[in-house]
Amino acid sequence: MNLEIKEEGGYKYIDEGQGEVLLLLHGLFGALSNWNGVVEAFSKEYRVVIPLMPIYEMPLREAGVPGLVRFVEGFVKFKSLDNLSLLGNSLGGHIALVYTLNNPNQVNRLILTGSSGLFEDSMGGSFPKRGNYEYIKERVEYTFYNPATATKELIDEVFNIANSNSKCLRIIAIAKSAQRHNMAKDITRIKVPTLLIWGLNDNITPPVVAHEFNRLIKGSELYFIDKCSHAPMMEHPGLFNQYLESFLVRTRTEAAVN
């Protein structure tokens, strides 16, 4: 699916479909294309919006979880979005958690997949090495259960990022900010319906992390996908969308009854 990237007010974003807003947040090395399967499946009944987070361009002093949360808050205000179903992968999940706590009246539902916020082993415990294509290839493949999911296009994109000193500085600053910003004491205050979809073979945010999110967020639902690592929406889009659709429909029905 070819996604049209719109530019307005200093923001780049995808905005497809009409209806309830499904706001998607990508991770540290994520891209808008990570969500192709979700956009294709849900833009028929929902308004699917994906801001391109300024991970590689934001001022270095703002490169961290708080700065990215402020960016999302500014984007939501600029687009006049409300009643959000907020879905985040990896770092995007972390941002979604903080956004939900800061703006509880804006969020109707929270969906996390491979989220940071409790523990994460970014890039397999190391940061990108400049100029070493095989190393970058290995680290990108580490993100997926099936290494073939790491396309040459994706590996080339991460390789180019790793060869930019300014981008690497921001990646390191944001990754360190995420590791410092542990949310175990905060997320017990989350009250909105929450869905957790996790790869059973996730090496970056292992299954024990999902269980801990499930324990700390009262009433949250947890589903594991076998033969799947850190990006279930890319590795098993059909099953991921099935869990997501069931959750969205059920919680909408429950809200209408209540």
Alpha-carbon distance of 61 to 84, in angstroms, equals 29
Residue 90: other Cβ atoms inside 10 A: 29
pTM, whole model, 2 decimals?
0.91
Domain positions in the chain: 6-119+182-257
**What are the tokens at 63?**
């490169």
pLDDT digits (tens, 9 = 90+) for 103-135: 999 999 999 999 999 987 654 444 555 568 888
* β-bridge partners, 24: 87
| CATH class of the region 6-119+182-257 | alpha beta
Q: Cα 251 to the chain's mean position, in Å?
A: 21
Give the DSSP H/E element, type plus range, for residue 240.
Answer: helix 237-257
> Side-chain half-sphere of 103: how many Cα atoms within 13 Å?
23
Alpha-carbon distance of 1 to 39, in angstroms, equals 9
pLDDT digits (tens, 9 = 90+) for 25-37: 998 877 777 899 9
Question: CA torsion, points 155, 67, 47, 100, in degrees to nearest 10?
Answer: 120
> What's the longest Cα–Cα distance across the chain?
57
168, 196 in Cβ contact below 8 A? no
pLDDT digits (tens, 9 = 90+) for 133-144: 888 888 888 889
Residue 224's pLDDT is 98
Residue 126's pLDDT is 47
